[in-house]
Amino acid sequence: MKTVTFASGVSVPVLGQGTWNMGEDASRKAAEVRALQLGLDLGMTLIDTAEMYGEGGAEEVVGAALAGRRSEAFLVSKVYPHNASFDGVREACERSLRRLRVESIDLYLLHWQGHHPLAETFDGFEALRQAGKIGDYGVSNLDLPSMEDAVGYGAPATDQVLYNLLKRGIEFDLLPWCRARGMPVMAYSPLVSSGREQAALLGHPALRTVADAHDATPAQIALAWVLHQDGVIAIPKAVDPVHLRANRAAADIRLTSGDLAALDRAFPPPRRARALDMR
């Protein structure tokens, strides 16, 4: 699978696994664990989670999935903004490590910016890195002005943001800025999140036409489009084995210049700066 490389030199696959909404129902835990393990088998070794998801429940699911397989995974988790003080970051990380049943997190992110200064949060991250509790650190849901501030306080490895065919705002400024600095962007909700938006996306005639040309589903083409973007990592969430295998197959689809032009006409790129889209 195609990979991207962080500034630290660590390379990860462009297609990972998200865990939003996991860990919220004990009756689904076994299926969620099996899904993450199947994803590992398929090469989707980057797993993204957060202390917010299921109030730690998703991290517990990930921990169960990684039992005996920690070395196979690149593990990403996120800290709540209200826990992002110097001491709070370290305490939150320790709780996440216990739920995940691991000794370190490969990439630790600020989930979104809150009232704690970024400089203080990054100092906490750096202390965690020096202690061997995390590898790289980064941010999520920060727009370009905030990222310009962030690089003055530390060395964030990534910005994780909402990005899909319907939400292309980052292409105007944030994505080019990150690319110019060799900073990968992590795209959450690459297949959108709400039912109404998903219907608007996956039911679009242009997407269906491209899908038919590749003997693929509209969802696979929408995901392949995100994976086509340079320096972007997609982290769709799936529990159904059929969906997991379909996501993995999307990474092998090669869109043509004609496909890309058709999708641009149907889902136009931004022509001006926009407020950052968030879930």
Angle at 176 between CA 182 and CA 276, to 5 degrees: 115
- DSSP structural state of residue 147: H
Q: What are phi and psi of 141, to 5 degrees?
A: 60, 35
DSSP letter string, 181-226 = TT--EEEE-TT-SSHHHHHHHHT-HHHHHHHHHTT--HHHHHHHHH
Q: What does the alpha-carbon distance between residue 80 and residue 74 come to, in Å, rounded to a whole number?
A: 20
Nearest to 49 by CA among 233, 278, 193, 235: 235
Q: Which residues contact 98 (CB under 8 A, 6 or more apart)?
A: none
| Helix intervals (H) in 50-204 | 57-65, 86-100, 118-130, 144-150, 174-180, 195-202
Q: Known catalytic residue: 188? A: no
**Under a CB-based contact definition with an 8 Å cutoff, are residues 259 and 227 in contact?**
no
Instruction: Return the structure tokens found at 31.
Output: 């299926």
**Under a CB-based contact definition with an 8 Å cutoff, are residues 107 and 135 in contact?**
yes
Nearest to 225 by CA among 261, 197, 275: 261
**Under a CB-based contact definition with an 8 Å cutoff, are residues 10 and 2 in contact?**
no
Single out the catalytic residue among 53, 108, 137, 188.
53
Active-site annotation, residues: 53
